[in-house]
Amino acid sequence: MGKIAFVFSGQGAQFSGMGKSLFEASAAARGVFEMADAIRPGTSKQCFEAELAEISVTKNTQPCLFCVDLAAAEALREAGITPDFAAGFSLGEVAAVTFAGIFSPAEGFALVVQRGLAMQEAAEAVESGMAAVMKLDNAKVEALCAAHPGVYPVNYNCPGQLVVAGKKDALPAFLEEAAAAGGRAVPLNVSGGFHSPFMESAAEKLAEALEPLAPKAAAIPVYANFDACPYTPGREKELLTKQVKNPVRWQQTVENLIAAGVDTFVEVGTGKTLCGLIRRTDRNVRVMNVEDAETLAAAVQTLRG
């Protein structure tokens, strides 16, 4: 068998009750939620009981999803499943570097709390949104963005899917032109234009939050959203800061992991979004997700087999 990568979920797949069965099934997962509650009281309750509208607010979404991401990964490690590599999509990257030991769980969680607040504030300062553009190649979408000031390519998800961020008043004309060019453009239900220049103030605040931290050497290679390459010592703070206001190069990350020998991807955290993007990038690799006790047991059985 080839190598295994844990890939940590990003925003968008949150749901009411997330993480509860992991908490009940795994002592390691339970420890993640207890750590979070000590820093941000009520985080577990928010994950397990809050309505979707509440956990879809960015300042709540990010710490809650971080907990589920890290809890799923720690439950796998507790069961004897350890990856060769890690990567995370957007906020998932903070969970990935935490799992790899660059930051302690408490440091990573406190950081993602600050990240969520900073990104929500930045989103509220500029009326912006995001849309997924499909059925067009990247060069065409980039050219369309260049022709529409205030619209930027931000998430390079997989072949034929590129997410853009734009000012609310600039997106309609862009989406109309993308459709006319043969693409399919779907507005996303998000609160702002993430991974774009609209997040400059969030990046500045994240840099401040990172300043007192002392990153440690990663136990396994973690691939960064910013350049789709493994973290190197001394660049941890720079990469996490740049990530907030620059595109997520997910397709390239997946391709680089496959080139490094990965043939099994385990999405840890809510949903199967990354599983789908990985399948569209290379159908020859094996993908599975772990988000609850049932999927945890299935993944452990498969990976031990």
Class of domain 3-124+197-304 as given by CATH: alpha beta
Sequence letter at residue 286: R
pLDDT (tens digit, 9 = 90+) per residue, 250-281?
999 999 999 999 999 999 999 999 999 999 99
Name residue, tokens 């949903």: 271
Sequence letter at residue 283: R
Q: Which fold has domain 127-187?
A: Alpha-Beta Plaits (3.30.70)
Q: Give percent above pLDDT 90 in the chain.
A: 95
pLDDT (tens digit, 9 = 90+) per residue, 103-121?
999 999 999 999 999 999 9
Closest C-alpha to 59, from 114, 107, 103, 109: 114
pTM, full prediction:
0.96
Q: What is the mean pLDDT of the chain?
A: 96
Sequence spans of domains, the chain: 3-124+197-304, 127-187
pLDDT at residue 200, as a whole number? 97
pLDDT (tens digit, 9 = 90+) per residue, 151-201?
999 999 999 999 999 999 999 999 999 999 999 998 887 889 999 999 999
Does the active-site annotation cover 148?
no
Which residue among 90, 128, 191, 196 is the active-site one? 90
CA quadruple 245, 250, 251, 254: dihedral sign: positive
Distance of alpha carbon 215 from alpha carbon 233, whole angstroms:
8
Q: Pairing state of beta strands 85-88 and 3-8?
A: parallel
pLDDT at residue 21, as a whole number? 97
Q: Residue 1 pLDDT > 70, yes or no?
A: no
Which residue among 128, 148, 191, 195 is the active-site one? 195
